[in-house]
Amino acid sequence: MSNNKTLKDVFDKQKQTNERPSRQEEIEDILQVIGFIVGNEEFAVPILNVIEIVKPIEYTRVPGTPNYVLGVFNLRGNVFPLINLRLKFGIPSAKQDKDTRYLVVRHNDQIAGFVIDKLTEAIRIKKSDIDPVPETLAEQDNLMYGVGKREDRLVTILKIETLLKRDF
């Protein structure tokens, strides 16, 4: 429940910031993302695509889907696919622990839950601090929007539309 409160605080703060027209130019230059850990890497998705972050709940296996699709889960009467990002990214599976969360994201009318190892923080990155995906990686159907530079680390920003693309 504390994560929902944190998300609400972030949205409230964002709304207040957006209501100040004098900072409009500055605001357009910033991408707000939710950071999370999968394996040893930090990733992020645009905050506007995040519906909810929940602690792990029961899910049902669905036969005939790739190994990274754990199945489907029921969130308040709606059934969504549940995808293990470790397996999707080719990282060995790990046992869920106290930090494991389901990141429920939306792009247009597609919604899915992604199993993440740990939530980090809401991050504001200047668009000028986001490097495009290197050419060598950009050729395949890439999940990466870009790489955000923080003071002490890099954060891989994922494309929601590619992440949600069904290949099963």
Contact 119, 34 (CB under 8 A): yes
More confident residue, 97 or 16: 97
Q: What is the model's pLDDT at position 124? A: 95
Which pLDDT tens digit goes with each residue over 92-102?
Answer: 999 999 999 99
Which pLDDT tens digit goes with each residue over 61-74?
Answer: 999 999 999 999 99
Mean pLDDT of 100-126: 96
- State how far the alpha carbon of 37 is from the alpha carbons of 96, 100, 101, 116, 146, in Å: 13, 10, 10, 6, 16
The two most distant CA atoms of the chain are separated, in Å, by 54
Please state the pTM of the whole predicted model.
0.79
